[in-house]
Amino acid sequence: MEQNNYAVFSGSKSRYLAEKICTSLGCPLGKMTIEHFADGEFAVWYEESIRGKDVFLVQSTYPSADNLMELLLMVDAAKRASAHYITAVIPYFGWARQDRKDKPRVSIGAKLIADMLSAAGITRLITMDLHADQIQGFFNVPVDHLYASALFLDYIHNNLPLQNLVIATPDVGGTKRANSYARHLGVPMVICHKSRIKANEVAEMRIIGDVKGKDVLLVDDIVDTAGTITKAADLMMEHGANSVRAIASHAVMSDPASMRLDQSRIMEMIFTDSIPYSQKCEKVKVLSCAAMIAESIKRVCSHESISSLYSF
């Protein structure tokens, strides 16, 4: 891959990850400026020529919406600067939980964001562990959907007691994801069934399966307020589990998530760095997805298969 044929740039909140990606690629991070004005408006411009280049723009769209607006302006500026291809690298795709009409008169936020990115001018999307796989179909451009399972499986094999391992899902919606881990590792799976009064508030939870004497690994894609996953862990321990650990791709970790995690019976919580986790919690371990994204960028540029990178 010729270095002068592509360039990697970053929004302000994903620079930490873009720098790691560039280290893996062996290239410098592209120079650009994001200027903020007194009224909260901001402007974006590139400090180097990107005419005819394949441009990769790294920015997760976790709150606030400024991150999304930055990305949209970056895409628009790249298009107007005559970039050849514009790939949005969005490790965490926000609004992904709004993927359908689950009640009358509600927006489908994930589709709206897809339309906005397409209208701005992206020619490809690289993202990781979407909350719902069907969101790929909201785009009319190629979508490379990466999976953090490659990172987590290495960690599981090297650090977890596999002989008594049980894979668990904190809610029924994650059954497919948990089943993939269970089948790959050759271990049993249990399910937590929950009911909610409203968003981010669990009313009732019960276990389907046996965890007595087992080391439980909870598998999820997003941890937001940590109410569901900590309640699931406490329930596992009450039903006789030896230990409970958890893995999740995206550390949204809205307050009071870190406090709940500290006070829960989860021994260890493993995230990727798709979102920066800056709070203090001794139970949290962060695995970097930068090398995986960098390899995907290489393969996009050289027109190689990306799916061959992953077990599932």
pLDDT at 308: 79
276 occurs within a structural domain: yes
Residue 1 has pLDDT above 50, yes or no: no
81 occurs within a structural domain: yes
Residue 44 has pLDDT above 50, yes or no: yes
What is the rounded average pLDDT of the residues 62-66? 85
- 20 is a catalytic site residue: no
Instruction: Categorize the per-residue pLDDT at 6 as very low, low, confident or very high, splitting at 50, 70 and 90.
Output: very high
Within its chain, how far is the Cα of 237 from the centroid? 28
296 occurs within a structural domain: no
Give yes or no: residues 185 and 95 share one domain.
Answer: no
Q: Long-range contacts of range 130-137, CB-CB < 8 Å, 24 or more positions apart? A: 130/93, 130/96, 130/221, 131/93, 131/96, 131/97, 131/99, 131/221, 131/222, 132/96, 132/97, 132/99, 132/100, 134/99, 135/93, 135/96, 135/99, 135/110
pTM value > 0.95:
no
Residue 180 has pLDDT above 70, yes or no: yes
299 occurs within a structural domain: no
194 occurs within a structural domain: yes
What is the rounded average pLDDT of the residues 128-135? 92
Residue 262 has pLDDT above 50, yes or no: yes
pLDDT at 62: 86
* Distance of alpha carbon 258 from alpha carbon 2, whole angstroms: 43
Which of 110, 145, 180 is the last residue in one of the domains? 145
| pLDDT mean across residues, the chain | 92
What is the rounded average pLDDT of the residues 216-240? 94
Domain that residue 175 falls in: 147-287
pLDDT at 103: 87
Which of 104, 124, 145 is the last residue in one of the domains? 145
79 occurs within a structural domain: yes
- The more confident residue out of 308 and 275 is 275
Residue 196 has pLDDT above 90, yes or no: no
Catalytic pick among 13, 20, 79, 194: 194
